[in-house]
Structure 1
Amino acid sequence: MNPARITGAARIGGIVGLPVTHSLSPVIHNAWLEAAGLDAAYLPFAPPDAAAFEALVAVGRAGLLSGLNVTAPFKEQAYALADSVSATARASGSANILSFRESRVLADSTDGEGLLWALARQAPGLSLTGAMVVMLGAGGAARAAVAALAGAGATVRIVNRTPARAEALARDLGGSVEVGDPATAFDGAALVVNALSVPPDLDPATLAPGTVVMDMTYRPVRTPFLKAAAAAGLLTVDGLAMLIGQAGPSFRAIFGQPAPDLDPRPLLLAHLEEPA
């Protein structure tokens, strides 16, 4: 491992959200910066409102920041403030990365890429081509994930407590995205993804054998939903894997080079005080 150094030429990146104190992104990125020996730092930013967030983006546009990861509640505003957006960000209607290059703001979304990375690592036998996927929730966390799953060839049924939100998301994304009836949505599902911030009102034991169950939440890593799924004999995928999966392309976008070959998962589990 190369020693990190911070000089007057250091590149500065970070994570912006409200709140942001819970974020594990600084743990991941600063470990990678140290491993790569880069003259750089990755910091948390918590602007109190939309005006302060816009001011932070102006700081980046002025060349004082290399890039930012963006989390709630600023993803949609980040998308709106960008000079150019990637096809992935356009599909999800939000951005979780802003890169600053020559006074321009570039927006991208890697949340969907992180989800696909997590599935490939923890459920390698799952093929999304032609698969039926049920997405629990229709908020910001679900949007990029649904776009990525549909782009990978799956049909996605959205199940949400407020049907109007599910209908709006299905209408925005179109194609193989539809609204599911809670009574029948799980029939034939190969994958069920929880994008809610709370445990869903679903007993995994009612799912068909072989269904993969994913929870996008990572505090705790083994959520009650995943524990119930494992107890029912189902394969599970956790939100920590998704976080790591989206961090790699974020690092490349912000610092201009691939993340080093250092698996941050053991470090993150130790930080969360959870067993490996």
Structure 2
Amino acid sequence: MEVDKVVHLPRLSRVAVCGGTHGNELSGVYLVKELLKAKNVMKEDNDDEERPASVLMVLSNPWAMQQCRRYVNTDLNRCFTHAALSGPVSKKDPYEMIRSKELNALLGPKGSPEAVDLVCDLHNTTSNMGLCLIAYSDCDWICLHIFRYLQRQMPDIPMRYIHLDVSSKESYSLDSVGKHGFAMEIGPQPHGVVRSNIYTTMKHGVQHVLDWVRFYNSGTVFEGGFVDVYTTVKNMDYPRDSETGNITAAIHPQLQVQSEMYLHFFIY
């Protein structure tokens, strides 16, 4: 995508970095815990023009984290539609439905002027896909410029900007609560473990995101240019038995590595 004009957007006064939306994707869990312990992540400055954004560090799904599971009752990263968030609260509701309303109260309400300006939701994948930003929009200037900045600051890390095209359906994941938002997904890393190189990549990526926000809020003008955006062409399921619905095939070994990035969309 080519950006060929100057766009002026409001300051990003409130930013949220979330980890543990899926409780067994541990890089984000441990990174947010580390950032919560650090008292000098972002220091206040006396100059209002240079003052950094308020950064919220959020552990999204504590119960799933405790059990090292993707979720307890239902996938939290599917619980942020307006219909789900506006429903009445009941003790009989799945835990993640209750938690989504708590997060919406903390970071939103979704779609309102009070919502945080930017949500960065941290994920891991078993796919060998490097660092990917996954967003609902393919023309969000904030997300696109952050991605270009990451590419320049981390040139040795394979990166892709993935447009999660839900077409007529409503956005449903945690990052959709903010005015701007994306998932930062990094792999390969098995669920339930932390790989040092993947954790370090995520840590550097998050720090560069926060650096970009600071530069942006201080009035830095960023150059336009090209951004390659990957989007969904079609969904292809595995062959299945017509009677039982069971999967009857696997990815051929010669295609496995080439296909891993695309197979990822089955689980996001």
TM over 0.5: no
State the TM-score, normalized to the length of structure 1: 0.31
Greater relative contact order, per chain length (Cα 8 Å cut-off, separation 6+): 2
State the TM-score, normalized to the length of structure 2: 0.32
